[in-house]
Amino acid sequence: EFRYICTASDPMGYKPPVDSPVARLIVRPAINPLVDPPEQRVTENQPAQFRCWVPGNPTAILEWRRADGRPLGHGVTDRNGILSIPRAQMSDAGEYICCALDPAIGGAAADSAPARLYVDRPYILPTEYPSVRPPESFEKPQVDPKHQMVYEGDPAMFRCWIPSKPNARVKWSRADGTPLPITAYDDGTGTLYYLRAHISDADFYVCSVTDPSGGPPIESDPVELKVKAHERRKEIIESQLPREPPTVDPVEQTVEEGNPSQIRCFVPGQPNAILKWRKQDGELPDDATQNEGILYIPQTRSEDAGSYICTLEDDLGGAPIDSEPARIHVKQPGKPPRPVATPSDQVVKVGETARFHCDPNGI
């Protein structure tokens, strides 16, 4: 924390210098983005996914890159902090770093800790040992997961296998026997994959294997895929994000009695936020109006001086969040000027610019 004082001096030397109240500068460190999971192990041709976010900053611009500087692999997508690898290859193994930039305040970009991806080759049952022999008939295929819910546009995957014969070739289909949707991919070794799920993909699916003894195909228990609309997903995600307090501008101002005054309140990234003003120690002036976060007083009186607080209402029923106080000073005619430094408090990140304004004709 640093403290600054603005001094106003009479150029003619008739009056002694007058100091402003102390202005404080608080510098907070940049918050690095977080990644989940920090490391992940998948088998070759299986999907992998990493998520990146900045706690308390849902508007941060996020971008993934490889730690070794190589470009992202073929088919890899980076969208809204989600790094998706639909079919991981051995060349995709390595470390990935998420870079975050705050569009509201700028400054230097911050890197996450590396996220590590391990890619294993599929297990192949050895055949050189005569004692290892396939069974006369197959058992019921196993599937995982039994139920899966994804949002429209996200990947989805089911896995099917025969415990006694891991290399058996299996086939996926809809439970009613109709073919798979064109958006689905069956790799023939047990993986049913959707790169971007659609609402029409929601259904029951079964995995089957042909009985080598000549019997009918043996089917697994059905699995269910549910696909939620993207709009609903956005509502759920936004409702779960940490809520930031509203911003007020200016934090402090001085007006002459009888002149208008105005304070703006807003929430970055939320243009439709529900905002309401109140006076900290009293009622709002009778002639004051508030519209879309702007508090306007057409004729400011001495009794209007004080601190005003903007409250962010939660339309989902959560607790309201208050802004920092915005202070109005009212200068009365005939009084000698007193310098005022604004804002009185300021919080910035390391390496960013901080500005204070000194008004020699303050209160």
Q: Looking at the structure, do residues 275 and 308 belong to the same domain, yes or no?
A: yes
> What pLDDT tens digit does each residue of the chain (363 aa) get?
678 888 888 777 778 888 888 887 755 556 689 998 899 999 888 899 999 988 878 788 899 999 998 888 888 999 989 999 988 888 899 999 999 988 777 677 889 999 999 998 876 555 554 444 444 456 888 898 889 989 888 899 998 988 777 677 889 999 888 889 888 999 888 889 998 899 999 999 999 887 666 667 888 999 999 999 866 555 555 555 557 889 999 999 989 999 999 999 998 877 788 899 999 988 999 999 999 899 999 999 999 999 999 999 877 667 889 999 999 999 887 666 667 676 677 777 777 777 776 766 555
CB 46 within 8 A of CB 191: yes
Q: Looking at the structure, do residues 345 and 326 belong to the same domain, yes or no?
A: no
223 belongs to a structural domain: yes
Q: Looking at the structure, do residues 156 and 218 belong to the same domain, yes or no?
A: yes
CB 339 within 8 A of CB 18: yes
Residue closest to 325 by CA, chosen among 357, 290, 279 = 279
- CATH number of domain containing 50: 2.60.40.10
328 belongs to a structural domain: yes
Q: Looking at the structure, do residues 68 and 147 belong to the same domain, yes or no?
A: no
Q: Which of 71, 89, 122 is the last residue of a domain?
A: 122
- Provide the whole-model pTM: 0.34
pLDDT value at residue 309: 96
127 belongs to a structural domain: no
1 belongs to a structural domain: yes
- CA distance linking residue 266 with residue 272, whole number of Å: 9
Q: Which of 201, 234, 267 is the last residue of a domain?
A: 234
130 belongs to a structural domain: no
Q: Looking at the structure, do residues 167 and 224 belong to the same domain, yes or no?
A: yes
Q: Looking at the structure, do residues 261 and 316 belong to the same domain, yes or no?
A: yes
Q: Looking at the structure, do residues 339 and 318 belong to the same domain, yes or no?
A: no
pLDDT value at residue 132: 44
Q: Structure tokens of 146? A: 């039994």
pLDDT value at residue 290: 94
Q: Looking at the structure, do residues 278 and 352 belong to the same domain, yes or no?
A: no
92 belongs to a structural domain: yes
Q: Looking at the structure, do residues 94 and 162 belong to the same domain, yes or no?
A: no
pLDDT value at residue 328: 93
Q: Which of 208, 234, 260 is the last residue of a domain?
A: 234
Split into its structural domains, the chain has a count of 4
133 belongs to a structural domain: no
Print the domain residue range for 186: 142-234
**Pairing of the two strands 110-111 and 94-101:** antiparallel
Dihedral pair phi/psi, residue 100, rounded to 5° = -120, 140
Residues 259-281 as b/e (b if ≥16 CB within 10 A, e otherwise) read eebbbbbbbbebeebebebebee
Q: Looking at the structure, do residues 255 and 324 belong to the same domain, yes or no?
A: yes
**Pairing of the two strands 23-28 and 345-349:** parallel
Q: Looking at the structure, do residues 18 and 40 belong to the same domain, yes or no?
A: no
131 belongs to a structural domain: no
pLDDT value at residue 129: 47
Q: Looking at the structure, do residues 285 and 338 belong to the same domain, yes or no?
A: no
CB 208 within 8 A of CB 141: yes
